[in-house]
Amino acid sequence: MLEILKRNRLLSIAVSLLFVAIITCSIINFYIADHINQTDVIQTFSVIDSLPDGQGKPATVILLNGQSNASGVGSVNYLEAKSGPDDFNRYEDGYDNIFINFFSENGNHSSQSRFIKAKIGQGCTPDYIGPELGLADLLAQQYPDQLFFILKYSWGGSNLHTQWRAPSSRGDTGDLYEAFINFTTASMDYLRAKNYAVFIDAMCWMQGESDAYSPHAQNYKNNLTYFVRDIRRNLGEYTDDELHFIDAGIYDSPLVTEYITINQAKRDVAALSLNNHYFDTIDAGLTYNQEPEENPDLAHFDALSTLQLGYLFANQIIDILS
């Protein structure tokens, strides 16, 4: 009995140390992201000619932005293990009517300045998927004859209070905000130069974990309000109506202490305009604690939940386009 008690105690200590290690790593990651050397943020973008002449064809443009769950940390291997072969083959082949230009983690993984078919392997590294996969999969099924372009600029661990800070917020404009505007502008100018009739219809925002601690959580509502307003102003020439802003709630991971405050701020901002939208990833049942099975990554959505996140964004866009 004494040996059992000792083993249980050692197991309890090991679990506690593991939890502390996870929390510590998360804090370190947030700190690193909060202290990005701003001179290292790439600000100049161009697009390599990779599309045929559009000949005036209309197309829908969707922005996808945020931190790591926007970049995507859903394992391709786990997705393959949990998907049927027909589904996975579809994800692997990609979609003939949906193209993406993506630039994640300051270009550590990108589409190399080209528009390519949306498919698996476009997350934070080629081994991962992001919500673009579910977004493309559902839109391709719903609109098989309609052309879509996804523009994804994202950076894991990045925050709204400094790095994505909008011009109207107090303090200097965030370098990620400026880079995002430059990336989007370059992509839109290319599409229009290729004779596509394009407007940005919606922006999908998956961010907030890096702001979910004091005092930044309490300022998130104001920062997000300015952020949405300034995006509509800075990208106004690329929209034919007020841009739809689709905001996803963050998870309730133990790594994120003030997720309730962040999600309430998102709800409050969504209530400011009919073109602001919010959905709750917790209510939707998205999980972050199943993969890898031996040591779950509590900081990111699991593969199937990353796919589902894209479906949730797509459902909002389908409602907008209907």
Q: If you average pLDDT over residues 221-248, what whole number do you get?
A: 97
Q: Is the dihedral of CA 310, 148, 176, 133 positive or negative?
A: positive
Q: What is the mean pLDDT of the chain?
A: 90
Domain assignment of residue 4, yes or no: no
- Is residue 9 assigned to a domain? no
The model's pLDDT over 236-291, given as tens digits with 9 standing for 90+, comes to: 999 988 999 999 999 999 999 999 999 999 999 999 999 999 999 999 999 999 99
The CA distances from residue 310 to 56, 137, 207, 214, 285, in Å, are 28, 8, 14, 29, 14
Residue % of the chain over a pLDDT of 70: 88
β-strands 276-279, 128-129 pairing:
unpaired
Residue 7 lies in a domain: no
Domain with 113 in it: what CATH number?
Answer: 3.40.50.1110
The domain total for the chain is 1
Whole-prediction pTM: 0.89
At residue 6, does pLDDT exceed 70? no
> Among 24-38, 132-146, 308-322, where is mean pLDDT lowest?
24-38
Residue 8 has pLDDT above 70, yes or no: no
Q: Is residue 120 part of a domain?
A: yes
Q: For residue 25, is pLDDT > 60?
A: no
Confidence of residue 39 (pLDDT cuts 50, 70, 90): low
Query: Does position 9 have pLDDT exceeding 90, yes or no?
Result: no
Domain, as residue range, for 250: 36-321
Lowest mean pLDDT segment, chosen from 118-122, 177-181, 294-298: 294-298
Is 14 contained in some domain? no
Contacts of 303 (CB under 8 A, 6+ apart): 74, 75, 76, 78, 79, 82, 129, 291
**28 lies in a domain?**
no
Task: Give residue 295's pLDDT.
Answer: 92
In the predicted model, what is the mean pLDDT of residues 78-84?
Answer: 95
What's the CA gap between 20 and 200, in Å, rounded? 43
Is residue 64 included in any domain, yes or no? Answer: yes
On whether residue 29 sits in a domain, the answer given is: no
